[in-house]
Amino acid sequence: MIRLAALAAAFLVSLGVAVLAGAHIISAVERPAATATYSMRVGHRTRQYEVIAPTATLATSAPIIVVLSGAAVTTGDEITRDRMAAYADADKAEIVYPVPIKESWNAIGCCDGAAKENVNDVGFIKSLVPRIDPGYQRPIYVVGYSVGGRLAYRLACTDPTLFDGMAAVKADPMPGCVVTKPMNVIVFSSRDDKYVPYQPGEKGKETPPATVQVARLQHAMGCSGKTVAKHGTVTVSGWACANRKRLVWAVWPAGGHNFPPPTKQTPGANQLIWSFVSKTPLAPVPR
């Protein structure tokens, strides 16, 4: 466990190599990525997904990042909001956006139109993974924001080996969905989130509070050796977990239920996600 704690500390140290402002952009030759929409059959439905891929051929070590959008937005809106496409433009990753039904996801019990129609979104994502990464040749991560995060948790509860890791942005798992096996997880929270309360006793529409969920993950995944780093206003805590997995928790003092954007003083969620996925120091968003 000492070795695992050292690994977690090294990760947070790498995050702290430079507190690089979100507005500080790397100067680079423009390398526009190519965007394509694909269809696949899942049960009786035809589902779609958008792929943002570099024009250059990626190495097998380059990650695929599957982004599950928040509710009531188009895929284009989500691409603009989360700013993950910049990593495809910079020839660093392939970004995949599954298209939800009625701009909602069914995390089994929630939410909105997809749940009312009993859409098999779990089956969709499980079928999608081998489609975008035949033979599991590349590292593949899932990022879920809000209700998309609920679906990401559901996938982690039902098939913890489907992805190499997950990012849960302002999201809670559905009741009864418990992560029981060690996996790489990064959680994003705000102390003033009115949907996902930060700690017990605070008002919110979802349960459990962020502090309770992170404590559950620590226990379930055998995590220890907490390390803490500060980047502007965001506090990033990390633990080394069993089976050489990692748990990271990024907390903003404000921001409500938004997808944290970069500011001059504080990195955005996209920067922290990339550092976590790529296991590289925190850096400006490329362009």
Asked if the structure places residue 285 within a domain, the reply is: no
The count of structural domains within the chain is 1
Domain span including residue 174: 2-278
Asked if the structure places residue 242 within a domain, the reply is: yes
Asked if the structure places residue 286 within a domain, the reply is: no
Question: Is a pLDDT exceeding 70 seen at residue 21?
Answer: no
Asked if the structure places residue 259 within a domain, the reply is: yes
Rounded CA-CA distance 63/239 in Å is 22
Give the pLDDT confidence of 89-115 residue by residue, as tens digits. 999 999 999 999 999 999 998 999 999
Strand partners, 254: none
Asked if the structure places residue 222 within a domain, the reply is: yes
- Residue 145 in contact with residue 196, Cβ under 8 Å? no
Give the pLDDT confidence of 120-140 residue by residue, as tens digits. 999 999 999 999 999 999 999
Q: What pLDDT was estimated at residue 32?
A: 67
**Rounded mean pLDDT of 34-55?**
96
Greater confidence, 53 or 11? Answer: 53
The model's confidence at residue 164, banded by pLDDT at 50, 70 and 90, is very high
Question: Which has the minimum average pLDDT: 20-29, 121-130, 158-167?
Answer: 20-29
Question: Is a pLDDT exceeding 60 seen at residue 265?
Answer: yes
The model's confidence at residue 18, banded by pLDDT at 50, 70 and 90, is very low
Q: What pLDDT was estimated at residue 33?
A: 82
Give the pLDDT confidence of 191-242 residue by residue, as tens digits. 999 999 999 999 888 999 999 999 999 999 999 999 999 999 999 999 999 9
Q: What CATH number corresponds to the domain at position 210?
A: 3.40.50.1820
Q: What pLDDT was estimated at residue 109?
A: 87
Asked if the structure places residue 230 within a domain, the reply is: yes
Asked if the structure places residue 161 within a domain, the reply is: yes
Which secondary-structure segment (H or E) carries 68?
Answer: strand 64-68
Alpha helices of the chain — where are they, by DSSP H? Answer: 2-15, 75-82, 86-89, 112-116, 121-132, 147-158, 210-220, 269-278
Give the pLDDT confidence of 215-229 residue by residue, as tens digits. 999 999 999 999 999
Asked if the structure places residue 27 within a domain, the reply is: yes
